[in-house]
Structure 1
Amino acid sequence: MIIPAFDFLEGKAVRLYQGNYLHKKFYNINLYEHFIEYKKKGVKIIHLVDLNGTKNVEKRQLKLFKEIISYTKIPIQIGGGIRTEKDINTLFELGFKRVVIGSSAVTNKMEVKKWFKIYGSNKIVLALDVNIINNEKKILINGWLQETNSTLEEIIDFFSSENLKHVLCTDISKDGTLSGPNTILYKEIVRRFKHIQFQASGGVSSISDIFSLKKTGVSSVIVGRSLLEKRFTIKEALKCWQNE
């Protein structure tokens, strides 16, 4: 699938360069019109990130997200600072279909394992952001400010016992750069973890990037900045994915 993505900071659509809050670009878009078009063209799911919530849970943009939920029937997965059962329940009560768990999957593994039991593997996406050095995929947390000793493979293995299904994997060197995706990474992890539906994220700038990612075997491609900047249309992206 093609999954259009929107990051929000202080109520506005924004893209960060490699996760850096100091290197950001705001976009003046009519979200309602985007969602109408996506529904018409056949988009199956949308990805949202609450960048305020990522930095401070108390500043979660709930009013904005309640409004967004009210004007689209497209299922939405949301991430950004989700650290407690209360956070998850609040978002599901608003109407979100999946929650995206990042840092907690590393720092609070047993609690997250419990969430899989409570909500089921189809409701939880693990967002694993990696910094790759000498092919070692070290996971970064807390808005990519902190590198951990955990690797991508270790975390997937740990949660596979809970029927882990959805993993959003980002090579942080690619995020927001429009420099092309890391297809080598996705080929490798798709081959190793056949039970996982991977969502590839980072670096997509052209239709040919989508074509390349489809060939790696990933289940979905997250497309953010390239759609916002009209590098291609959602219609072109969906057609490429379906026709490859």
Structure 2
Amino acid sequence: MIIPAIDLIGGKVVRLFQGDYAQKTEYSASPQDRFDLYVSEGARYLHLVDLDGARDPAARQLETIASLIKNTPVPVEIGGGIRSRKDVEDLLNIGADRVVIGSCAVKNPTEVKEWFRDYGASHIVLALDINIDPVSGKRFIAVKGWQENSGVTIEDLIADYREAGLRYVLCTDISKDGTLKGTNVALYTDLHREFPDISFIASGGIGSLDDVRNTAQSGAFGVVLGRALLEGKFTVKEALECWPNA
């Protein structure tokens, strides 16, 4: 699955470099225009990150997001600072197909597992952003906007959430994010081998169609495409041609 993505600040399409709000690029097209383009090129699923909501859930851009969902004919998943049951309900109530849970999944596993039970695993994605220890090779999940090492490995967290029915994991190698220098194919290959029942969505570093092809061979369920599409490295249509059964 090819999943085009946009990030929003103040209703405008932006990109951050490795999650740093101080390194922000703003794009001229409106979020609706961008979604319309991606759908016209064949996208069947879209990803949106509310960066205002990520910093402060009270600043969540619900009105903008609701309008985008209403006027977009394909399902949309939403992430960005989802930390409470109300956050989940607000987004599902305005039509989000899936909500993307990040740091909260590490910090409050008991509560998040209740959300799996109450709203269904098909409506929840765990976003697990990792730093790989250069000595041990362990893959530790980062929290607090990538500023803090949780001390929990991605493998341990996935194993814990399996009992709750975990289906989707959006996994980002932080060192690759925003670089356009290729994604960590070995990471997704290893995770797919260890957890074949989980649908892994690759994210970070895709800069060329070769990167898309390589990721498709890793066993990943899908790939999120952000900066590469915004900067015209290739189109959604071209990416779809590189992903078997897309």
Cα deviation digits, residues 118-174 of structure 1 (max 9, x gap): 011110000000000131101111211111111101110000011100000000001
Please state whether the residue corresponding to 1:240 is helix, strand or coil: coil
The aligned residue for residue 34 of structure 1 is: 34
* 2:128 alignment partner in structure 1: 128
Query: How much does 1:243 deviate?
Result: 7.1
Pairs within 5 Å for 1:97-112: 97-112=97-112
Query: Matched residues, percent identical?
Result: 47
Q: TM-score, normalised by structure 1?
A: 0.97
Give 1:128's aligned amino acid.
L
Q: Distance in 2 between matches of 1:17 and 1:42?
A: 27
Name 2:204's counterpart in structure 1: 202
Q: Which runs of 4+ in 1 moved over 6 A?
A: none
Match of 2:195 among 193, 196, 199: 193
Q: In terms of mean alpha carbon deviation, does 46-55 or 66-75 score higher?
A: 66-75
Residue ranges of structure 2 left out of the alignment (5+ in a row): none
CA distance in 2, matches of 1:86, 1:35: 26
**Once the 2 structures are TM-superposed, how far is the Cα of residue 71 of structure 1 from its aligned partner?**
1.0
Q: Does the CA-based 8 Å contact 2:168-2:199 persist in structure 1? A: yes
- Cα deviation, 1:3-24, whole Å, max 9, x if unaligned, reads 0010111211111111111111
Q: Secondary structure at the match of 1:242?
A: coil
Matching residue of 2:182: 180
Once residues 30 and 14 of structure 2 are traced to their aligned partners in structure 1, the CA distance between those partners, rounded to angstroms, is 13
Structure 2 residue matching 1:125: 3-state secondary structure: strand
Normalising by structure 2, what TM-score? 0.96
Instruction: Give the equivalent residue in structure 1 for 2:145.
Output: 143
Matches within 5 A, 1:79-98: 79-98=79-98
| Residue 24 to residue 186, structure 1, CA distance change in 2 (3 Å) | same
Consecutive unaligned residues in structure 1, runs of 5 or more: none
Query: How far, CA to CA, are the matches of 2:148 and 2:245 in structure 1?
Result: 40
SS at match of 1:203: coil
